[in-house]
Amino acid sequence: MRKPIIAGNWKMNGSRDSIKTLLDGIKAGMGDVKAAEVAVCAPYIYLPDVADQLKGTAVAWGGQNLSTEEKGAFTGEISASMLLDFSCKYVIVGHSERRTLYGEDDALVAKKFAVAHKAGLTPILCIGETLEEREKGITEEVCARQLKAVIDEVGIKTLGEGVIAYEPVWAIGTGKTASPEQAQDVHAFIRGMLAEHDQGVADGLRIQYGGSMNAGNAKELLAMADIDGGLIGGASLKAEDFLAICTAAD
Ligand code: 13P
């Protein structure tokens, strides 16, 4: 049985005040969350606050990105050990915004996965097709290519110690969610690909869905056989909405 994981990706949102309010709300509602593991991925600069506020609670936290380098002259970068210094458990790698806006290619994302895992973080690997790619009918090809890059870099067993987030780019921040069937099809494809390498990894690895998941559509999506949680953007910024998604996993 895979334990569902609901993670908030706050992206570049929030302030010290708004984050305090958000986390107070999430903490107050966690008693109702039965099935899901819960995490939030915060902007780097707020991680000390987040760590202080979530210490000793059931909510884990993480970063949204990391450097492939350990230390040194890399202005503006943050290393895996720095994330660990603030007790991060997770780190998102290969989010589509990093891939498209900051030019992160498959090879770099695979390297980030490797570095994060080696340091002791649990990488959340984002994959997914653009609208153009979906319309061309190459969704599976794109997801397979993005996955293969990581499998080639770290091997299937190591991939199995992370989390995958299938995030169709056309569904991110658009209010246009993939239908449960559309999402399930791709999740099943991903699991099938994992199974070709290792059945145990395929059975155990959690695959989140991400892309306009909200309190209204979470239950249907999470009910699908191969959807093991969600990576939530906009709806993770309000405690009530985020908690509704967390309890939808029950
Ligand atoms: P939205 O939930 O805002 O569509 O964002 C999804 C996402 O990109 C999570 O990483």
For residues 99 and 169, is the Cβ–Cβ distance under 8 A? no
For residues 156 and 198, is the Cβ–Cβ distance under 8 A? yes
Query: Looking at residues 148-165, what average pLDDT do you find?
Result: 98
Percent of the chain with pLDDT over 70: 100
Give yes or no for residue 128 CB within 6 A of ligand 1. no
Domains of the chain are: 5-248 (3.20.20.70)
**pLDDT above 90 (res 104):** yes
**pTM of the predicted model, to two decimals?**
0.98
Compute the Cα dihedral for 201, 140, 98, 62 and give only its sign.
negative
Residue 56 pLDDT:
98
Q: How many CA atoms lie within 13 A of 138 on its CB side?
A: 8
For residues 98 and 66, is the Cβ–Cβ distance under 8 A? no
- 163 DSSP β-pair partners: 124
Read off the pLDDT band of 154 (50, 70, 90): very high
Rg of the chain over all Cα atoms, to the nearest angstrom:
17
Q: How many CA atoms lie within 13 A of 75 on its CB side?
A: 0
Give yes or no for residue 172 CB within 6 A of ligand 1. yes
Give yes or no for residue 245 CB within 6 A of ligand 1. no
Q: What is the pLDDT of residues 111-131, one digit of tens each?
A: 999 999 999 999 999 999 999
Query: Looking at residues 9-36, what average pLDDT do you find?
Result: 98
Residue 1 pLDDT:
82
The pair of structure tokens assigned to 245 is 């998604």
Give yes or no for residue 160 CB within 6 A of ligand 1. no
Which element (helix H / strand E) includes 5?
Answer: strand 5-9
Which residue puts its alpha carbon closest to atom 2 of ligand 1? 233
Query: Looking at residues 125-145, what average pLDDT do you find?
Result: 97
Q: What is the DSSP letter of 136?
A: T
Residue 245 pLDDT:
98
Give yes or no for residue 231 CB within 6 A of ligand 1. yes
Cα(110)–Cα(114) distance, rounded to whole angstroms?
Answer: 6
**pLDDT above 90 (res 230):** yes
Which residue puts its alpha carbon closest to atom 5 of ligand 1? 233
Cα(172)–Cα(42) distance, rounded to whole angstroms?
Answer: 18
C-alpha pair distances (Å), 123 with each of 62, 86, 160, 170, 177: 9, 16, 10, 23, 24
For residue 4, the CA-to-ligand 1 centroid distance in Å is 17
Percent of the chain with pLDDT over 90: 99
Which residue puts its alpha carbon closest to atom 7 of ligand 1? 233
Give yes or no for residue 100 CB within 6 A of ligand 1. no
Which of 124, 127, 167 for a ligand 1 pocket mutation test, highest count of atoms within 8 Å of Cβ? 167
Residue 103 pLDDT:
98
The pair of structure tokens assigned to 138 is 């190459």
Taking the CA of residue 212 as reference, the ligand 1 atom at the shortest distance is 4
Q: What is the pLDDT of residues 86-103, one digit of tens each?
A: 999 999 999 999 999 999
Angle 180-197/139-154 helices, nearest 10 degrees?
Answer: 40
Neighbours of 109 (CB within 10 A): 24
Give yes or no for residue 167 CB within 6 A of ligand 1. yes
Burial track 17-41 (b if 16+ CB lie within 10 A, e otherwise): eebbebbebbeebeeebeebbbbbb
Q: Catalytic residue numbers? A: 95, 167
Query: Looking at residues 63-86, what average pLDDT do you find?
Result: 98
> Mean pLDDT for the chain?
98
Neighbours of 215 (CB within 10 A): 18
Residue 43 pLDDT:
98
Read off the pLDDT band of 217 (50, 70, 90): very high
Query: Looking at residues 160-173, what average pLDDT do you find?
Result: 97
Taking the CA of residue 126 as reference, the ligand 1 atom at the shortest distance is 10
